[in-house]
Structure 1
Amino acid sequence: MRFVRELTSWLSGAADPDNFPYSPVLAEFHRVGKHFVEKELLALLDSARARVTAPAAGPPSPAARLLGDFLDVALDKWDGRYDYRSYLALRLLRLPCGADDGPGGDDDGHGDKAAGHPEDARRDRDRLLVRLVADALAFELAAGSDATDLLPEDRPSREVVAKRQRLGVRAAAPALARLGLAGQAHDREPAAVLRALVADGDPAVGLALRLSMLPVYVSHDEYLFIRVLQAYECLFAGLVEELRATIVALRAGHARPAADRLAYARAQLTAAGPLFSLLATMQPAAFRTFRQYTEGASAIQSRSYKLMESLCRTPEGTRLESPAYQQVPEVRDRVQAGQPSVDEAFRAAVREGLLTGADAELVAGAMRTFAAAVLQWRRTHHRLATRMLGPRPGTGYTEGTPYLAAVRSIPVFSSVTHDPGPSSRTDPTGGSPE
């Protein structure tokens, strides 16, 4: 077998990360799905990881870091640490601002930088989101024209593929507009156009994107599933940075910057609605087939989402002890160590007189509309999960849709009501979200 021959040759030589035989290894993973890769290949990859991660005199090169991260993702089931983040290969995507980069999650100092200079980070996130959607659409086109034999099981109909093209372009359109490329998305072959728009001169960018696609099975729809979930992780990483910057502005009593950050976050979340519509085109039977092999990986383990939730409002003790936070202990530890929240910062700003009158109402209004967007996202998530899962339990060791139903109305903020209408009132000392 080619992968055995090339891996053995690589291991017997200098084991140069720049020359790692990615193509035959990926081909084997794609041929059978990660869940079914033979132990012989996994053992060789484990040996390769030992070589590339051996103690060295200095920090690892970019190529060594990429290879180490890829091998960790490829060997997650072999290691017995398979979860949502390894399933989505989030470390390979290098989420802008580091919301899921490394064992400590997001604690890399990027938050303060983003708070002062958001435009570069926002642009990077937009480019990544477009790349992910474009790659999903390019796969649909290639499969529909028999240009690829990747994930051949349960191909969708031409009508479904056409619908995915339309929805994918809609999902990418807001990011394209922010990148100044809105007019480019109306070509007759939108996936090809989107892919060209995000072509990057750095080959490492394309390689990382290619390496981040490691389905567990050979169902066609798993490709779409992975890319859409990765896109949502990119979205929530961005919301985390906007909320952190909101807290900084509130602590300084700066109402307009705080409201602007919340408005941008709300617009991002609302504009991502077509991603759910895109995901809803999955064939339920195909989804139920490949999810048999995703046990242990669930969106309940999303670090970016829990960071977003806990930066809005400090969760109560019962929520912190729930499965949602038990599976992201690093976020729970951060909260218990006193992580600030928008809710807390707003209360303090009003109490200390930093925000009064119209300024307080401006921020409260922005909080209400952002909360409404979050609650709508939760409701849509629950509806889609109900359609796909039915009564089946979740893969993150929860009871599935009953769990989502129970948490979908958890308050986003408690310092303001969640009614975005004109009759709402700011109540910095309490208030009801319902």
Structure 2
Amino acid sequence: METPYASYLRLPVLLELQQPRTPAERPAQWADEHFFITVHQSAEVLASQALVDLNRAAEHAQAGKETQAAVALRRVTALVEILEHHLTLLDHLEPDSFASFRPLLENASGCQSSQFADLFHRIAAADLLGRPADALPAQQPLTTALQALRGAVIRWQTRHLLLVERMIGDQPGTGGTSGLAHLRARIDLPPREGQRCRGEAS
């Protein structure tokens, strides 16, 4: 019998979403791919919440509610920080294990994550809050919150680069980019046009 908790969170649906392509007859590889999928799906859920709060921050800022905007930005920062630490989960996936099921991804890549592309592009934008960042007082809580958020993104990008280096080395990314060289060029705010790809570990 389904509990109210499971019903509220739609757990039966949620827990059916992890569908490895590895045959069940290869249990070790199946478990590794299941882990990989779980980590990435949970990251996408966290990113979706970061976008919700980023929208709220912009709405508050445009309405002149700077305290509320700063609160919302700090929550986005907390989510990005969790996403950075979240990457360490993949340190528990050995490169050889990843290589065993990587062909099953075909052309799928984290580079194609529209949520991460949107999140990081908007955070880097000079007018994230509906007005130029240099128009905000230097020591204002809203400015401080914005700087902290951008710093969190750089830390995510750096941690992601190190992860990719460990997982695939100098191999090309599954999304068709040059891999590490592409990611190194992206650790810069604001990013240059066309460099919104989330990454190459997937």
Tell me, yes or no, whether TM beats 0.5.
Answer: yes
Aligned position for 1:394: 173
Matched, 1:410 2:196: no
Structure 1 equivalent of residue 26 of structure 2: none
Q: Residue 365 of structure 1 corresponds to which residue in structure 2?
A: 144
Change (3 A) 1:207 1:223: same
Q: Which consecutive unaligned segments of at least 5 residues does structure 1 have?
A: 1-197, 316-340, 413-434
Structure 2: which amino acid aligns with 1:241?
A: V
Is 2:124–2:150's contact at 8 Å kept on the other side of the alignment? no
- In 1, Cα distance between the equivalents of 2:14 and 2:41? 11
Which residue in the other structure is 1:205 paired with? 10
Deviation string, structure 1 residues 245-292 (Cα, Å, up to 9, x no partner): 111112112210111111111112223444222111101111011011
- 2:159 paired residue among 371, 377, 380: 380
Summarize the alignment of residues 348-363 of structure 1 with structure 2, pairs less than 5 Å apart: 350=135, 357=137, 361-363=140-142
Provide the secondary structure at the position in 2 that maps to 1:211: coil
User: Partners in 2 of 1:273 and 1:368 — Cα distance?
Assistant: 17
d(CA) in 2 for partners of 1:206, 1:364: 39
Structure possessing the higher relative contact order (Cα contacts under 8 Å, 6 or more residues apart): 2
Superposed, 1:210-289 pairs within 5 Å as 210-218=15-23, 219=29, 220-289=31-100
In the aligned structure 2, how far is the partner of 1:216 from the partner of 1:390? 24
1:226-263 deviations in whole A, cap 9, x for unaligned? 11111111111111111111111121122101111111
Question: Any idea what the Cα deviations from partners look like across 1:299-325, whole Å, max 9, x if unmatched?
Answer: 01101111112322449xxxxxxxxxx
Residue ranges of structure 2 left out of the alignment (5+ in a row): 24-28, 192-202
Aligned residues: 183
The 1:269/1:348 distance shift into structure 2, 3 A limit, reads closer
CA contact under 8 A between 1:240 and 1:311: conserved in structure 2? no
Structure 1 position 209, deviation (Å): 2.2
Matched, 1:347 2:132: yes
Identify if the C-alpha distance between structure 1 residues 349 and 408 changes in structure 2 by more than 3 Å, giving closer, same or farther: closer
Displacement of 1:349 after TM fit? 9.8
The equivalent of 2:198 in structure 1 is: none
CA distance in 1, matches of 2:170, 2:124: 31
Q: 2:185 is aligned with what amino acid?
A: A
Q: Conserved in 2, the CA contact under 8 Å of 1:244 and 1:311?
A: no
What is the distance in 2 between the residues matched to 1:245 and 1:201?
27
> For the Cα contact (< 8 Å) 2:32–2:93, is it kept in 1?
yes
Paired-residue identity, %: 27
In structure 2, do the counterparts of structure 1 residues 300 and 284 end up closer, same or farther at CA, with 3 Å as the change threshold?
same
CA offsets 1:5-51 (integer angstroms, 9 cap, x no match): xxxxxxxxxxxxxxxxxxxxxxxxxxxxxxxxxxxxxxxxxxxxxxx
Aligned-residue offset at 1:211: 2.7
Q: Which aligned pairs between 1:18-417 and structure 2 lie closer than 5 A? A: 199-201=5-7, 205-218=10-23, 219=29, 220-314=31-125, 341-342=127-128, 345-347=130-132, 350=135, 357=137, 361-411=140-190
> In 1, distance between residues paired with 2:63 and 2:12?
42
Whichever residue aligns with residue 212 of structure 1, its letter is L
SS in 1 for 2:10: helix
TM-score between both structures, scaled by the size of structure 1: 0.39
The one-letter amino acid of 1:400's match is: G
Q: Hey, what's the Cα distance between the residues in 2 that align with 1:382 and 1:199? A: 38
TM-aligned CA distance change 1:274 to 1:199, over 3 Å: farther
What is the TM-score with the length of structure 2 in the denominator? 0.80
Query: What SS does structure 1 have at the residue aligned with 2:15?
Result: helix
Contact kept, 8 Å, 1:221 with 1:283, in 2: the verdict is no
For 1:251 and 1:201, locate their aligned partners in 2 and report how far apart those are by CA, in whole Å: 37
